[in-house]
Structure 1
């Protein structure tokens, strides 16, 4: 079961690193800001610093989850589990908050929150 749990947490980590790339590196590209529902290049430019900051939150959560899996796999089970549970819970709770901002964000919240939620639940039973 720990392998399956680690796979879900690893996928959640990769997803959050990908979100970092979109928000902090590629935000001003039309394909990126349109994906996030931003109406114009001007709006993307206006929100770029906010997206940049938000992207780093996603990066830090992804790195935390990945580091937790590595620690767990290398014999530091307590520290690894703690880091995995904290990181995936934060990811899932952020997705839950996203749902509260409007129904149009349901798909994004499910994308952002499903893998970490599954990883969190599985890691509870490892």
Structure 2
């Protein structure tokens, strides 16, 4: 189960690190701002600081998911579980919020939330077996 949790958490983190890259480092590139539904380079420039900040939230959650799964895997199960479930739980909650922001956001919410949901399910299944 630990291997599955680590794989799911790593995939969750990878998606969020990619989002970090898009939002914090590549936001003003046309391919990126168009992916996020912006209409113009001017709009991307106007929202650049907000996207930069949001990208770092995604990076920090990705790091938390990775560290939590590593801690869990090396035997620090309580701390690893707490950190891991918090990080992927926040990712999942953010995906739910994104899904509720409009029909045009459902695909992005699915991409953002699938691996965190899988990780939460695996963590909870593993935790219930151990306790």
Taking structure 2 as the reference length, the TM-score comes to: 0.94
Question: 1:110: Cα distance to partner?
Answer: 0.4
Question: 1:99: Cα distance to partner?
Answer: 1.2
Question: 1:69: Cα distance to partner?
Answer: 1.0
How far apart in 2 are the matches of 1:10 and 1:101?
26
2:119 aligned with 1:119: yes
How far apart in 2 are the matches of 1:3 and 1:48?
38
Partner of 2:10: 10
Partner of 1:70: 70
How far apart in 1 are the matches of 2:116 and 2:89?
7
Query: Aligned-residue CA RMSD in angstroms?
Result: 0.7
- Aligned to 2:101, the other structure's residue is in SS state coil
Greater length-normalized contact order (CA 8 Å, ≥ 6 residues apart): 1
Partner of 1:80: 80
What aligned pairs does 1:79-98 form with structure 2 within 5 A after superposition?
Answer: 79-98=79-98
**Runs of 4 or more off by more than 4 Å in structure 1?**
none
Deviation string, structure 1 residues 38-63 (Cα, Å, up to 9, x no partner) = 10000000000010010011001000
How far apart in 1 are the matches of 2:14 and 2:124?
21
Unmatched runs of 5 consecutive residues or more in structure 1: none
Question: 1:76: Cα distance to partner?
Answer: 0.9
